[in-house]
Amino acid sequence: MRSVGVEEELLLVDARSGFPQAVAGAVLAAAERQAWEGPGEVTSSHHLEKELQKEQLEFATKPVTRMGELQEEIRRRRHEAARHAATAGAVVAAIATSPLPVRPLLNVGKRYKWMGEQFGLTAQEQLTCGCHVHVAVESDEEGVAVLDRIRPWLSVLTAMSANSPFWQGQDSGYASYRSRVWNRWPSAGPVDVFGSADRYHEQVTAMVDTGVLRDRGMIYFDARLSAVYPTVEIRVADVCLDPATPVLLAALARGLVETAARAWRDGRPPARIGTSLLRLASWRAGRSGLDGPLLHPETMRETSPVAAVGALYQHVRAALVDHDDDELVREGIAKLERRGNGAQTQRRLLRDEGDLARVVTRCAELTTGGEDPQV
């Protein structure tokens, strides 16, 4: 069974005002201090890392094969992040953009400084929080075969995870505005079919050799071979408000990878859907989320969110059954349709609470397991 891991980026905000706080350095320092007991003796370790901006943190789960373990890992890591954030007077919120106005501060380090100088406002304004799913593959050749075959389905994951309706104090009109801000990077978005691992690596090398990108870590494809782990990394999702949603995404992502690998082994070619159409599907998913039409992954024609999600489920169902994930996914989809994604929750909170500051503080409560009274 393929192992799965999740990376989540979290926003650091003031517990009362909801405004982002540039305290990542202090939070990480507190985490380091608490990981030591006595002089030179490590008793535990933390799992938090800095990100591009000082107003956010990142964590990664360990690779697991059972979705129940992944659920526990995500909840544990979120609580760990919240505990350390409290030492700096902040709370963590699993929202993909700040609803309130913010002028982000780039983190320290040569890499981030280079990115700020190279990309200007694109880097300076890039306070976005995503959810990345890693799924194990046996080789680069299998990994690229998977990348070639999952391309049409990724926009559905964006729609399901959409959790960034607000930007700089106003409603963006999008369900996932993070996806639009993220795609300002020149290496981001859908890509063509590669056909082989050699062609994938040739393309990546050529992109880095242009000098536009600092290194392979800046290959921001919607899905890529990890530069560190033997995995395919799917990068299209917003960080999700409900800690159960990334587990649903991870199960579907593993289903996609396994379905694609089986198709490759059986000699079935990838769908030849043009990258320009995939960009439209990505835009549509970011705009609509689960509120409006999406592009059907097989026909690239408008359809309902229910139909698009249903098509994804049917596409991967055999793999879900083999992984014992079928019931989890069916229940997760039903819950998502009943409860709504993060974007729908944030807009409902604004209607109920009346101001964006309260939206943020309620989202912070929901991030670590607080109950949504509407559920």
Q: What is the pLDDT of residues 305-339, one digit of tens each?
A: 999 999 999 999 999 999 999 999 999 999 999 99
| CATH code of the domain covering residue 150 | 3.30.590.20
Q: Record the pTM.
A: 0.95
For residue 91, CA distances in Å to 80, 160, 169, 367 come to: 11, 25, 19, 10
CB 163 within 8 A of CB 343: yes
**369 falls in which pLDDT band (50, 70, 90)?**
confident
For residue 272, CA distances in Å to 91, 101, 222, 257 come to: 45, 42, 17, 18
The answer as to whether 147 is a domain residue is yes
State in Å, rounded, how far the first CA of the chain is from the last one. Answer: 33
CB 175 within 8 A of CB 161: no
The answer as to whether 160 is a domain residue is yes
Residue type at position 157: L
Give the phi and the psi of residue 161 in degrees, each rounded to 5.
Answer: -90, -10
Q: What is the pLDDT of residue 371?
A: 52
- Whether the pLDDT of residue 374 is over 70: the answer is no
The answer as to whether 198 is a domain residue is yes
The answer as to whether 375 is a domain residue is no
The answer as to whether 357 is a domain residue is yes
The answer as to whether 86 is a domain residue is yes
The answer as to whether 354 is a domain residue is yes
For residue 168, CA distances in Å to 93, 100, 161, 355 come to: 16, 5, 20, 13
CB 375 within 8 A of CB 339: yes
Q: Residue written as tokens 């905000």?
A: 13
Helix and strand element counts for the chain (H, E): 14, 11
Give the phi and the psi of residue 12 in degrees, each rounded to 5.
Answer: -95, 120
**Number of domains, the chain:** 1
Q: What is the pLDDT of residue 33?
A: 86
For residue 244, CA distances in Å to 68, 227, 331, 340, 346 come to: 10, 27, 11, 13, 17
- Whether the pLDDT of residue 373 is over 70: the answer is no
Tokens of 141: 């050749």
Q: Which residues pair with 130 in a beta bridge?
A: 238
**What length does the chain have?**
375
Q: What is the pLDDT of residue 254?
A: 98
Domain residues for the domain of 74 are 4-367
The answer as to whether 374 is a domain residue is no
What are 230-255's pLDDT values in tens digits? 999 999 999 999 999 999 999 999 99
